[in-house]
Amino acid sequence: MIKQLANNPSNLVSESLSGVILSNPNISKISEVNAVVRSDINIVKDAFVSIISGGGSGHEPAHVGYVGFGMLSGAVCGNVFASPSVAAILKTIRACAGKAGVLLIVKNYTGDRLNFGMALERAKVEGIKIEMLIVHDDCALELGKGITGGRGIAGTVFVHKIAGAAASQGLKLSEVFDIAYRASKQIKSIGVALSMCSIPGSVPSERLIGSVYEIGMGIHGEPGKEQRPFPPEGSLNEIATQMICHLLESSYGEPFVPQSNLALMVNNLGGLSVLELYALTGRVIRILADKQLYVVRSYVGTFMSSINMAGASLSLIHVNPIILSYLDASTSCSSWVASPVLKPLDDSYDIAKDIIDRVPIAAESGVESYPRGTYECPHALEYITVAAHRLIDIEPRITAYDLVCGDGDCGLVLRAGAQAALSALEKLTASRDLKSGDSVPINAVELCLCLADHISGSMGGTSGALLEIMLRAMAVSLVSVGLTTLA
């Protein structure tokens, strides 16, 4: 059984739209259909080109989340993964049509092309000035392969933003179309899925069961380019590298040549944690920089989901000052996540130095000095080294136990503490030209304080706090009985 918040799967789209309307006074619903428009549409539609998009639901925040000043004027929502009806699309066109005209931005799927295309023709008969742009940014499949060829996925949101910004400047319909068309030809996207999504009211799919992932799976669960065994280690590096390779090798659009400036969208397909999403972002930016492809804008978040699919997509677009001005332009929509201006990485970039440069810190006092006294523990290094390595080795077992009775972090925290302890021993032996396994005299208070400092900076968790308290209390106790001094 799939557990989902739905009274009835057939009503989920309309109930979701009700939540959107109640949460955003700048959006209004069109009566009798699952479609929304800007609340001020009657005021602005004569002065500015209206941008309409839409498609099947289940890709939220697309497309309703992009309705607002600077992006979409209206969005039409079909049932989950199903194109909206011609009647709903036409009603939305009529609501948004003014003297400036209407631009439809449609993803390249058979149902969307047919239904939006039919609504387009009927609108033309009614005398509405209207154009339609088809976006096919997914380069998972070779040109001409698949049912429709290149599919429209998250890169479409770049087109929404650029077209909406151009329209907000008061440009003519032909000019907005031309800008959006040329931008769409600069975008390449690729997705990766670790698991399938769960469609409300449907039986769970058995694809991707087991230790595999799929490069290029579509946002409706369509087959992608290939399935690969999920790597037991280094999954982030492998998957990020595979995605970038497919993007750069694709014959879609213009190639990404060295020294190019790019905007990157890292899109959560619904079920990936934010922790993983930013790890992927960092790795992708590094890989691109190594190829002299420089990310100057980075958009990270959920832009076009596949309900709750565990996976992500990458979209790249060539940028120049004009495209950047459109991407940076303000918008009132609720779901666009703006990017700060990024400095292109080069071979000399050092992230550690960058962090220090960005965050002002007090001057360092130099290497810590710990007290020396008369109470020595000659075998401490040997015993602690053995214990620390043992903790590191049994971390998976401790983690498994904690997953049953706790929150699953105990093994990882203890491993971090063990590694911190080993680092502390290396620090203590470095000044003595000794190896950490040697049986050598170390002052007890010095040892306790050094271990406490390293655990404080590395371990975390309740265990880390308790161990630090214990070690510092031990140091104070040793001093209090006169075995050494802190002077």
Catalogue the active-site residues: 220
Write the CB contacts of 96 (distance below 8 Å, at least 6 apart in sequence): 37, 41, 45, 50, 52, 73, 74, 102
Q: What's the CA angle centered on 44, arms 43 and 46, to 5 degrees?
A: 100
User: Closest Cα to residue 39, out of 334, 330, 337, 302?
Assistant: 334
The 3-class secondary structure across the chain, one letter per residue, is: CCCCCCCCHHHHHHHHHHHHHHHCCCEEECCCCCEEEECCHHHHCCCCCEEEEEEEECCCCCCHHHECCCCECEEEEEEECCCCCHHHHHHHHHHHCCCCCEEEEEECCHHHHHHHHHHHHHHHHCCCCEEEEEECCECCCCCCCCCCCCCCCCCHHHHHHHHHHHHHCCCCHHHHHHHHHHHHCCEEEEEEECCCCCCCCCCCCCCCCCCEEEECCCCCCCCCCEEEECCCCCHHHHHHHHHHHHHHHCCCCCCCCCCEEEEEEEEECECCCHHHHHHHHHHHHHHHHHCCEEEEEEEEECCCCCCCECEEEEEEEECCHHHHHHHHCCCCCCCCCCCCCCCCCCCCCCHHHHHHHHCCCCCCCCCCCCCCCCCECCCHHHHHHHHHHHHHHCHHHHHHHHHHHCCCCHHHHHHHHHHHHHHHHHHHHHCCCCCCCCCCCCEHHHHHHHHHHHHHHHCCHHHHHHHHHHHHHHHHHHHHCCCCCCC
The CA-based dihedral angle spanning residues 79, 84, 89, 91, taken in that order and rounded to the nearest 10 degrees: -50
User: Closest Cα to residue 35, out of 119, 151, 108?
Assistant: 119
Residue 70 backbone class (left: φ over 0; alpha: ψ -120 to 50; beta: rest): left
